[in-house]
Structure 1
């Protein structure tokens, strides 16, 4: 067993999930909110431009974002370009429906390919006039006439973002809204949504998959954005495979992010994990233990981190519960399997699972599929597997423009 050496303190940017939810909440609130240390990346800038197009005022000072909200839904005719940001395409149309005016949402070809059907169907059932594109997604026209409230059943089996979209704007409705979420995946993201809504003053209750929101609006607040737990997973895994110690301050006990549970998975591989109120620390041995099966359905954004380094383990690792990951920026199960096979690694995959067997990776070019998480996950493997190159290393700018530089600073 190798002796761990200190790699240092990882400089992890703010959470994308918290930043974009907080942007919408601040845009809908009465007054001016302060978002401390938000993530600045392709996705969050696209979301910021979206709330600005809907009428909120956003400005930056000393690294923080200040948002003067509308106190209601937006008004007037406009358009929102969502870039590649799935959260913008799934959260902002509900905000537009709560207002008065026609809003056209569109985005990149990659985003147009991502589904919106469960959300648009729920909006129709609530009386909203929505016109999706020819494939059922973007471009999407929302003719806002205010949200009436009421009761709706929502298919949540492929993404929790549809439910989050409905919940975030529900306090702006004319009457209480009740949502019955069927087959909910990625539940920790809903816990995050509810916690942030309450920070902005919402009255929301949940019991057995049914959510009730009162139409009391939002009040501006001061919110510190945590470091992104999904992004931190790459640096925690890097510590494990290089026999180093990495610390991430500000991401500890009490975090709003379910993806911090990746530490529990990493501990199963033999890494030493320490979690305090002040942050998280991982110490690796440079060797990984395998021979287990783990359900990562609730933390599916981190399954690629484990799968990419699994060839370094001493026995196969099987990851289950991740079928909805096929509907993300790419078919992530297929993308991981394709790249591992290109590296000479034996992989078995099914509709909602992947098994990775130990092996010695050969040099190969990683096909990123314009998916930031593919590039970041395989960059960690590259710390132990010489000869990995990437067809689109810059795609990490979606959530962490400085990723490669930070990884090199700590482990180069």
Structure 2
């Protein structure tokens, strides 16, 4: 039985066209459409390739995944149990948008011990550092604003800037990071609102920006009136060499640099915990944007993370991860000469999760991917990480997920795929 409101009955009765014998035909549905910005969004081949990891026979060098066997599952279980027993009403309740005070305090202490003086109130806890990017685009960018990025750059950052309707301009890079002369020229031409960087063990290239380049970037940002987003999800995964200075800690850029961090790579990505460190006015704008997004990050996850970081030994766990990743990186680098076509080149990162490969001229990493998948091995073609014209020869290999033995087996498969698809001998970089 249908129910009709009295107002509708009254309107029908007084309508000059209403009669008891009126018969209407089927309703013709009016078309609906997505927002214009939805048509600009790019898919993530990394996320698409993750679906393949359900195949236990596939060896994936594609996703930037921490090794699951290195998660401190028992320590985290204990931390969750303790906060649920001691403070169930609090940790299962709504909480503040800024984040758990205890978690902000312990993260601030860790940043301070790593050389960047930080107070708890300088931080906002986010649902992964990816949400921090989304909050910053909401607070800093209007449609049509320009963002400058490294070429290539982190794919999910490009997705966030696309969603904000920003125009993305890439600055050329080399092994030391962005080239200051090119950055100066591009900033002068395009007057960007912000510059997005991953200075430590960059995704996708694994490169680390030199100290001299960091100082140059800070000076350009100060002179030109530009925000800097310093994204640092991999900084604690140093495998060799010495730490470089924080851009956020440089005098020229301290008032205009936002630092992003994450517990996904060092604790557990499933907890979805990150943070941003920003000047007060921008931090407040991000809190308001977060209120409109998810109100606050999971209360119980924040409480458990704070307890874990306070009572466990996270530095020992990170050292364990780094030792394992160092062996896996060595295995990857040792096997690349035999796996890749002659004339290929690759870098030797000082940390993080990725090795960047450039195949010889005339080869296309995207076109070669089906041959690799047929051998049950995967990588990410580099073209996905370019905001504009891409270098089709490039690809990204992640070395963290598999044991050295499994890495070697995957490279054997990759070598067979490339040899079969190209008809060329493998060689050395």
**Greater relative contact order (CA < 8 Å, ≥ 6 in sequence):** 2
Higher strand share: 1
Q: TM-score w.r.t. structure 2 length?
A: 0.28
Greater fraction helix: 2
Larger Rg, first or second structure (1 or 2): 2
TM-score, normalising length: structure 1: 0.29
